[in-house]
Amino acid sequence: MQGFLRTAAPLGLLLLSLAPAAHAQQNSDDIAPPCLSRAQITASVNPAVMMAALPRCLQEGRTQEAIDLYNFAGVFSNFDRQRVADESAHGVYSAMKAVIGESMGEEAQTRFNDALRAQLAPDKAPAYIAGVCKHAKRIGPPSYAPTYMLNHGMAAFTGKGGGLVPDFNPQQGWQNTLSNYLKCPG
């Protein structure tokens, strides 16, 4: 039971901290960041911003941009999991997906999931992933501070075991993400 509480407590706090933003986003177009195209996804745009912009893309009928934001948020989160020392913070991306999914409503979420599945179907996925790889290689490793992740682990509450991994090599971490997460060729 104690192990469960150790895991459930930070996740509960995370969800509580994300809920007001998701609720506000659902009720006000002014709060949601603008929809970003793939060309606007740079090394300085963090996964929290990408995920928060995703519903706006869907509202504007820009499903391809929503798919790109979703996938690049996953790519950047994978990189951040390598550089954030507090392992309890690594689940923030999954929590963001759940909160954003709830904020979109069932119909929009169904349309998005269907479009995502179609984009990643065996006949389309190779070309799509090749394009994601090309853009990811061009922009290089994320340059933002991963505060969205750092602020949601146990270390943010206890003050112990947090921060970034000492001597983390961003180029090596990015290559690891490209090779092992995205499965980019060469």
The pLDDT, as a whole number, for residue 101 is 86
- Give the residues across from 164 on adjacent strands: 84
The pLDDT, as a whole number, for residue 43 is 98
Which CB contacts under 8 angstroms, 24+ apart, belong to 97-103? 97/51, 98/15, 99/15, 99/18, 99/19, 99/21, 99/22, 100/22, 100/51, 100/52, 100/54, 100/55, 102/22, 103/22, 103/23, 103/25, 103/26, 103/55
Residue 26 pLDDT > 50, yes or no? no
User: Greater confidence, 153 or 80?
Assistant: 80
Q: Which of 5-9, 13-17, 127-131 has the highest mean pLDDT?
A: 127-131
The pLDDT, as a whole number, for residue 170 is 97
Q: Give CA 151 to chain center in angstroms.
A: 15
**pTM of the predicted structure, to 2 decimals:** 0.82
**Domain range annotation of the chain:** 2-181
- Tens-place pLDDT, residues 154-178: 877 877 877 889 999 999 999 999 9
User: Greater confidence, 185 or 25?
Assistant: 185
